[in-house]
Amino acid sequence: MSWLMHLILILIATAVVPWMFRFAGQKFTGNKPFFRDMPFAVAFGYVAGLLVLIAAVSYYFRPLEVNGVPSAGVIFFRWAVQGFIGFAIVAYLFRLFGRAVGTAGTRKLFRAMPLTAAFGVLVILLYAIVSIFAGSIAPYGQEEIFANANIVPGGNPMMGGDPNFPLGTDQIGRDIYSRLIYGAQNTVGIAFATTCLAFFVGGSLGFLAAIVGGWLDQILSRTVDVLMAIPALIFALLLMTIASVWSNQLGVDRTIFMVLIIAMIDSTRVYRLSRAVGQNIVVMDYIEAAKLRGEGMGYLIFKEILPNAMAPLLAEFGLRFCFVFLTIASLSFLGVGIQPPLADWGTMVKDLSQFINFAAFAPNVATAPLLAAGAIALLTVAVNFVVDWMLHKSSGLKD
Amino acid sequence: MGSIFQIILQRLALGILTLLIVSIVIFVAVNALPGDFAQAILGQGATDEAVAQIRADLGLDQNYFMRYFSWLGNVLTGDLGISFAQMNFASNMGGDQLVGVVEQIAPRFKATMFLAGVTAMFAVPISITLGVLAALYRNSIFDRAVNITTLSSISSPEFFLAYILILVLAVLNPIFPSLSNVYEGMALGEKLNRTMLPALTLTLVVTAHMMRMTRAAIINLLASPYIEMARLKGISPMRVIVRHALPNALAPIINVIALNLAYLITGVVVVEVVFVYPGIGQLFVDSVKIRDIPVVQACCLIFAAAYILLNLMADILSILSNPRLRHPK
C-alpha cells in the first residue's frame, strides 16, 4: 500500500504547493496584479518548471566519477548543457556584432532578430564556410586510410586515443574529424545542388503553367498530383532501386541519379507553390502591360513574375532544402544514398552506430555517431529557425 | 443526406483512380529496368534454359500492356507474386515450397500497424493537450519553450532522435531494449515494452507536427467575433478555448491527425531500420538493397495505398465536419 500513500501524498502536494506559491507571491508583493490574477494552472506551471530546473542543476553538479567508474549520464548531460549555453552565448554575441557592424540595412535586420534566428544565421554561415574550405580545414583527406582503425575519440593515449586523431578513426582507419568536415562539403553541397535543380525545374514549370494555363496547366498539374500521391521517401527508394541497376550498366555514378531523382520528386512540391503564387501575380496589370509590349515568355517569368514571388519562394527554398537534406541523409543512412568513398554524415551514422552501446562505460566512444547525426540536425534546426522568423516577419503575425 | 453520400462516393472513386494511376507509375518505373528480370533473378552464371524457364513463368514474353493487366489482376486477387530471393533459392537448391510475397508481407504489415497504433495512442492526446496549452499561454515562456523543442524535433532526422533515445533510455538507463525483436504470439506487455522506443521516436516526430498545427488552428479561431464575445462575457480563457474554440477547431485538428498518420508511413521506414523492428519498412529497405523487384513493388503499392487512403479520410472527415465544404461554389 505504500505506493498508494505516495500517490496520495504527491497529489496533495501538487494541489497545495502551487496554491502556496501564489499565496506567498500575493503576500510578498503586496497583491500585485501578476500574482493576484494568476490562474491555478499557471502557478502549477511555474512550480513544475522550478522543480525541473532544480533537478537539472543538482544533476549537473553530481560527481563525474563514482569509485573510478565514470557516470556517463552526468557527463552527457554536462556536454548537452554546456553546448546549449555555449551556442546561446555565441548567438547573442553574434547578434551584438551584427548590430554594430555592417550597413544600415543589416544592422536594422539584426536589431529585430530573435536569438533563435541569430543562432540559425550563424550556424548556416559556419556550415557554408566549412563546406567551401573543407579541403584546407581538414587535416587529412576523406579517403585516406591509416594503419590504426577504431581509435577512440578524445585523443588521450591512456584511453585508447591518439592526439593526431582528435575524434578517432573509423572501422577501416579513416580520420573521423576530416570525414565530418568533408561530409559538410558532400552532404550539404549535394543537397544544395539538388534543391537548386528542383527549384529551377519546379519554379519555371509552375510559372509557365500559371501564364499559359489551359491544357498545359492541366497536364502538368495532374502529373504532379499523381507523383505526389506516392510518399516521397518511398518513391525515392523505389527509383533508387532502379537507378542502382542503371548506374552499374551505364557506369554513371549513383549519386548523380540520386540528385536527379530527389530533384524530380521535390520539384513537384515547388511546382505547386510557384503555380499558386504565379496565378495571383499573372492577373496583375503590369503583367498585362508586359504582354501588350510583346515581351517573350522568358522575360515574363524571370523579369516580371520572379521578383514579385521572391519572398514566399525564399521561405520555401529554406524548407525544401531541409527536406532534401533530410531525405539524402535518410537514403544514405539506409545505404542507398551517397556512395563511399565520399564522406557523408548519413553513412557515417550508420557505420558508427554500434559505438553508442559503449556509452555507459566510455562516454567519449559514443560521441562519433552522435556528432555526425548532430551535424545533420544542427543545420536543419538552424535553417528552420531562420525560415520560421522570415515567415513570422513577412506574415506580420503578432498574436 | 443524399448529397453527402454522393460526395463521399465521388472522393472514393477519385482515390481509387489515383491508386490505379499510381500502380501504372510503379509498373512503368519497374519496367524501366535495363535487361530482364530472369537474368536479375538467376545472376551471372545462369544457363539459357533456366532463363527461358523463368521468362515463361513470369510471362515476360508478353507485351507490356498484357503484363500490366495480368499484374493488376493478380494484385486485385491478392497475389503479389514471389520474391526473387525465393525464386533464386528454389532454382539453385531445388524444392518447390515457395513463400509468396503476400505471406512475407502479412505479419510485417500487422507489426507496422501495431507500431503505428501505439504511436498514435501516445501522440494524439499529448499533441492536442500541448497545442491547446500553447495556444492558451501563447507568447509566454512555456509557449516559446514548447515551440523551440517541437521545431527542433521536427527538423532533426528520425535516426538522430532514435539514437538519442537509445542513448538515454536503453544504454545509460536500461529501461527499454534498444532492439525491438517482436514476433507473433508474444505477450502483449512484453511486446509493448519492446515497441516502446520506436514508438517514442515516432511520437516525438509526429507530436511536433500535430501540436504546431493544433496551436495554429486554435489561434486562427481566436480572432473570430464569437470568441471576442465570449471573452467580453467574462468567461475564463481556459473555458473560452475548451468550450468555444476547440469544437470549431476540431475539423482542422482531425485533418491534421489523419495527415500525420500518413506522414508516419514514411517515418516508419527509417525508425524500423534503426531498431530492427520486423515491420514492412524494414522489409522494403532490405528488398531495395538486393533489388528484389516483386517485394519492392508490393511494398510501394501498400505504402501508396495507405497514404492515399489516409489523405482521403482526412478529406472526407473535413467535409463531414464542415457543412460549408459540402456545397462547393
> What is the complex's ipTM, to 2 decimals?
0.83
Separation CA A78–CA A83 (nearest Å): 8
What is the number of H-type helices and E-type strands within chain B? 14, 0
pLDDT above 90: percentage of residues in chain A = 15
Q: Please, what is the average pLDDT of chain B?
A: 81
B116-137 average pLDDT score: 88
pLDDT at B10: 85
B289 contact residues in A (CB cutoff 8 A): 335-336
User: Does the distance separating the beta carbons of B293 and A230 come in below 8 Å?
Assistant: no
> In terms of pLDDT, which residue wins out, A396 or B260?
B260
B163 contact residues in A (CB cutoff 8 A): 349, 353, 356, 369-370, 373
Of A126-140, A190-204, B78-92, B100-114, the range with the highest mean pLDDT is A190-204
pTM score, whole prediction: 0.85
pLDDT at A191: 92
pLDDT at A196 over 90: yes
Separation CA A167–CA A375 (nearest Å): 14
pLDDT at B38: 65
Q: For residue A41, give the amino acid letter.
A: A
User: Do A184 and A137 meet the contact criterion of CB atoms below 8 Å apart?
Assistant: no
Is B137's Cβ below 8 Å from some Cβ in A?
yes
A265-283 average pLDDT score: 89
* Residue where the block lists cell 501504372: B24
* Residue where the block lists cell 511555474: A46
Is B218's Cβ below 8 Å from some Cβ in A?
no
* DSSP H or E stretch at residue A66: strand A65-66
pLDDT at A124: 92
Give A358 to chain B, closest Cα distance, Å: 8
User: Does the distance separating the beta carbons of A231 and B262 come in below 8 Å?
Assistant: yes
pLDDT at A398: 42
Separation CA B272–CA B283 (nearest Å): 9
User: Does the distance separating the beta carbons of A370 and B157 come in below 8 Å?
Assistant: no
User: Does the distance separating the beta carbons of B157 and A376 come in below 8 Å?
Assistant: yes
* Model pLDDT for residues A128-175, shown as the tens digit of each residue: 999 888 878 777 777 777 777 677 777 676 666 677 777 777 777 788
Separation CA B315–CA B327 (nearest Å): 14
pLDDT at B306 over 50: yes
Separation CA A350–CA A311 (nearest Å): 37
Minimum CA–CA partner of A387 in chain B: B151
User: Does the distance separating the beta carbons of B178 and A334 come in below 8 Å?
Assistant: no
A239 contact residues in B (CB cutoff 8 A): 29
pLDDT at A262: 93
B121-145 average pLDDT score: 86
What cell was used for A89?
552565448
* Model pLDDT for residues B167-194, shown as the tens digit of each residue: 888 888 888 887 877 777 778 888 888 8
Task: Check residue A167 and report its DSSP letter.
Answer: T
pLDDT above 70: percentage of residues in chain A = 96
B304 contact residues in A (CB cutoff 8 A): 229-231, 234
pLDDT at B35 over 70: no
User: Does the distance separating the beta carbons of B172 and A226 come in below 8 Å?
Assistant: no
B268-287 average pLDDT score: 88
* Model pLDDT for residues A295-323, shown as the tens digit of each residue: 888 888 888 888 888 878 888 888 899 98
> Which of A178-182, B15-19, B88-92, B139-143 bottoms out in mean pLDDT, i.e. has the lowest?
B88-92
* Model pLDDT for residues B212-247, shown as the tens digit of each residue: 888 888 888 888 888 889 889 988 877 888 888 888
> In terms of pLDDT, which residue wins out, A50 or B321?
A50
* Half-sphere exposure (Cβ direction) of A188: Cα atoms closer than 13 Å: 27
User: Does the distance separating the beta carbons of A349 and B142 come in below 8 Å?
Assistant: no
User: Does the distance separating the beta carbons of A225 and B18 come in below 8 Å?
Assistant: yes
> Which residue out of A233, A392, A397 would a mutagenesis test of the B interface target, given it has the greatest number of B Cβ atoms within 10 Å?
A233
pLDDT at A114 over 80: yes
For residue B156, what are the CA distances in angstroms to A327, A374, A380, B151?
11, 8, 7, 9
CB-CB neighbours of B43 under 10 Å? 9
User: Do B159 and B197 meet the contact criterion of CB atoms below 8 Å apart?
Assistant: no
For residue B26, what are the CA distances in angstroms to A198, A225, A333, A396, B291?
22, 15, 24, 44, 14
pLDDT at A192: 92
B19 contact residues in A (CB cutoff 8 A): 229
User: Does the distance separating the beta carbons of B40 and A333 come in below 8 Å?
Assistant: no
Sequence-ordered alpha helix ranges (H) in chain A: 2-28, 33-36, 40-60, 72-100, 104-111, 115-132, 134-137, 176-183, 189-212, 214-228, 232-250, 254-282, 285-293, 297-299, 306-308, 310-334, 345-352, 367-395
> Which residue out of A71, A77, A233, A238 would a mutagenesis test of the B interface target, given it has the greatest number of B Cβ atoms within 10 Å?
A238
B22-36 average pLDDT score: 78
φ/ψ of A362, rounded to 5, equals: -135, 90
φ/ψ of B319, rounded to 5, equals: -70, -45
User: Does the distance separating the beta carbons of A39 and B238 come in below 8 Å?
Assistant: yes
Nearest one of A329, A321, A336 to A238, comparing CA atoms: A336
Give B169 to chain A, closest Cα distance, Å: 11
For residue A290, what are the CA distances in angstroms to A204, A283, B102, B287?
18, 12, 59, 54
Option in A242, A330, A370 nearest B270 (CB): A330
User: Does the distance separating the beta carbons of A349 and B288 come in below 8 Å?
Assistant: no
pLDDT at A197 over 90: yes
User: Does the distance separating the beta carbons of B158 and A233 come in below 8 Å?
Assistant: no
Separation CA B175–CA B196 (nearest Å): 10
B177 contact residues in A (CB cutoff 8 A): none
User: Does the distance separating the beta carbons of A335 and B157 come in below 8 Å?
Assistant: no
Separation CA B262–CA B217 (nearest Å): 19
* DSSP H or E stretch at residue A65: strand A65-66
User: Do A47 and A21 meet the contact criterion of CB atoms below 8 Å apart?
Assistant: yes
A353 contact residues in B (CB cutoff 8 A): 163, 274
pLDDT at A260: 92
> In terms of pLDDT, which residue wins out, B88 or A267?
A267
User: Does the distance separating the beta carbons of B163 and A234 come in below 8 Å?
Assistant: no
* Model pLDDT for residues A27-37, shown as the tens digit of each residue: 888 777 878 77
Is B181's Cβ below 8 Å from some Cβ in A?
no
pLDDT at A399 over 50: no
A346 contact residues in B (CB cutoff 8 A): 157
What cell was used for A51?
522543480
Minimum CA–CA partner of B22 in chain A: A226
Give B194 to chain A, closest Cα distance, Å: 17
User: Do B137 and B192 meet the contact criterion of CB atoms below 8 Å apart?
Assistant: no
User: Do A69 and A53 meet the contact criterion of CB atoms below 8 Å apart?
Assistant: no
Residue A69: strand pairing partners = A66
User: Does the distance separating the beta carbons of A370 and B156 come in below 8 Å?
Assistant: no
At CB < 8 A and 24+ separation, what contacts does B288-291 make? B288/A237, B288/A238, B288/A240, B288/A241, B288/A334, B288/A336, B289/A335, B289/A336, B290/B84, B290/B85, B291/A241, B291/A244, B291/A245, B291/B40, B291/B84
User: Do A128 and A192 meet the contact criterion of CB atoms below 8 Å apart?
Assistant: no
User: Do A358 and A70 meet the contact criterion of CB atoms below 8 Å apart?
Assistant: no
> In terms of pLDDT, which residue wins out, B263 or B37?
B263
Q: Is residue A69 classed as helix, strand or coil in its secondary structure?
A: strand
> Which of A81-85, A211-215, A355-359 bottoms out in mean pLDDT, i.e. has the lowest?
A355-359
Give contacts of B 58-117 with A, CB under 8 A: none
Option in A245, A356, A383 nearest B163 (CB): A356
pLDDT at A267 over 90: yes
Contacts of A125 (CB under 8 A, 6+ apart): none
Is B285's Cβ below 8 Å from some Cβ in A?
yes
Option in A116, A238, A376 nearest B26 (CB): A238
Option in A73, A230, A241 nearest B288 (CB): A241
